[in-house]
Amino acid sequence: MSKRASSSKLFFYDLHGGSAKVQVMADASSKSGLDEAEFARFRSTVKRGDIVGVTGFPGKTKRGGLSIFPKSFIVLSHCLHMMTRQKAGPDASVQKTDVWFPGSTRNPETYILKDQETQYCQRYLDLMLNLEVRQMFKTRSKIISYVRSFLYNLDFLEVETSMMNMIAGGAAAHPFATHHNEFNMRLYMRIAPELYLKELVVGGLDRVCEIGKQFRNEGIDLTHNPEFTTWMVQELTSGYKIKYHANGLYNDPIEIDFTPPFRRLDMVAELEKMANLNIPKTFPVMKLTKETCVNPTFIINHPEIMSPLAKWHRSKPGLTERFELFINKHELCNAYTELNDPVVQHQRFAEQLKDRQSGDDEAMALDETFCNALEYGLPPTGGWGLGGSSLPSNETSG
């Protein structure tokens, strides 16, 4: 609730709830329904930020504004802190346009609470004062609900796999470690659910998906958080040839062309073209290639050394059947034909183990349990993973 005075006998209060705002006009008159004593109590008791309940009737002010004229009120909860106000001036006059571009739903110049540290440490205050931040939460929820509904309509079975594992597998990342007191056992928070989902496909579940949290003990920046949500899908008889049907805080916005079809870059071939060099298949080229991907771009055919869980390319030795979708230089989706040969998978894990023993703490561990599951037969399967924050951030962030 916010409060403003027109005179010593007339006060206006704005009540905010959800995305709606209702004006209350309180004065000591027969029209309002408050006597002098009630009006004085109302004026002295209620302040900015309080949560109140008002009973009254609708009417119009002299200027024609729709208001509630109170007959009674009650303070439901007091706010014990001084709330930040919107400052007048250039920052408050920033206007939105009807033209959509990535980040157009987020305009930090119009924020009431601008201090970033306070925004992150007191998220409830950020939500109270910055309505656009509240809308970002709603947008993210709607996107997740849509993706879940989309997969459900395609007959995917949503599952929940283990959050704590003896081996941190499914991705190249450094895990968080914890301890199980009952079994006196060291466990790891999962970094990816992929291996468990493929074991479910081995067990006969043709289409499985999971929307859940992952934990990676790595660096933090604007696009990476140690705790994040992913959407992971495994589908029988699919491969990386999948058909799709599409039904900096203060920097200038980047215009991104989403017009299909998206550009495709063969990873090694594109870099060889850019650098005019012959690049060995063992050279890590991702960081160099993604810098060209502002508009939506599929980077395809990654080297085997970068893709220990992906199947070898059927016509290009040394490469894999894998693609990643990049937008504005950030990865949105990672997908590939799943490696289903237990012997080759064991060899790939063994190579990763050598890298780990040489000091690469993000190299994958040797997961004998998963290799044993592959020995029972994994049908031709395709899988993809999507960052649960990546898609909403492209829609709501600049």
Tell which residue, 18, 247, 268, has the closest CA to residue 150.
247
How many Å separate Cα 233 from the centre of its chain? Answer: 17
**Position 310 pLDDT exceeds 90:** yes
Overall pTM > 0.85: no
Amino acid 333: pLDDT: 87
**Cα–Cα distances in Å, from 192 out to 158, 168, 231, 309?**
16, 8, 10, 12
Tell which residue, 16, 86, 44, has the closest CA to residue 26.
44
Mean pLDDT across 82-88 = 71
Q: Count H helices, E strands: the chain? A: 10, 16
Q: How confident is the model at residue 247 (pLDDT cuts 50, 70, 90)?
A: very low
Across 77-91, 117-131, 311-325, least confident range: 77-91
Three-state SS for 212? strand
Query: Using a CB cutoff of 8 Å and minimum separation of 24, what contacts does 171-176 make?
Result: 171/214, 171/216, 171/364, 172/308, 172/352, 172/362, 172/363, 172/364, 173/216, 173/217, 173/218, 173/362, 174/216, 174/217, 174/218, 174/361, 174/362, 175/215, 175/216, 175/217, 176/215, 176/216, 176/217, 176/226
Distance between CA atoms of residues 361 and 363, nearest Å: 6
Q: How many CA atoms lie within 13 A of 7 on its CB side?
A: 4
Distance between CA atoms of residues 220 and 226, nearest Å: 7
**Position 254 pLDDT exceeds 80:** no
Across 147-151, 171-175, 278-282, least confident range: 278-282
**Position 351 pLDDT exceeds 50:** yes
**Position 347 pLDDT exceeds 90:** yes
**Cα–Cα distances in Å, from 289 out to 14, 194, 250, 286, 373?**
52, 25, 26, 5, 35
Distance between CA atoms of residues 374 and 343, nearest Å: 9
Mean pLDDT across 347-369 = 89
Four-residue CA torsion sign, 371, 372, 377, 381: negative
Q: How confident is the model at residue 276 (pLDDT cuts 50, 70, 90)?
A: low
Q: Degrees (nearest 5) of the Cα angle 131, 135, 141?
A: 150
Higher pLDDT, 60 or 256: 60
Amino acid 376: pLDDT: 97
Q: How confident is the model at residue 94 (pLDDT cuts 50, 70, 90)?
A: very low
Amino acid 204: pLDDT: 95
Q: How confident is the model at residue 182 (pLDDT cuts 50, 70, 90)?
A: very high
Q: How confident is the model at residue 30 (pLDDT cuts 50, 70, 90)?
A: low
Residue-wise pLDDT for 205-244, tens only, equals 999 999 999 999 988 877 778 999 999 999 987 766 554 4
Residue 373 parent element (H or E): helix 368-374
Distance between CA atoms of residues 197 and 341, nearest Å: 16
Domains recognised in the chain with CATH numbers:
2-77 (2.40.50.140), 155-386 (3.30.930.10)
Residue-wise pLDDT for 6-19, tens only, equals 666 778 888 888 77
Three-state SS for 126? helix
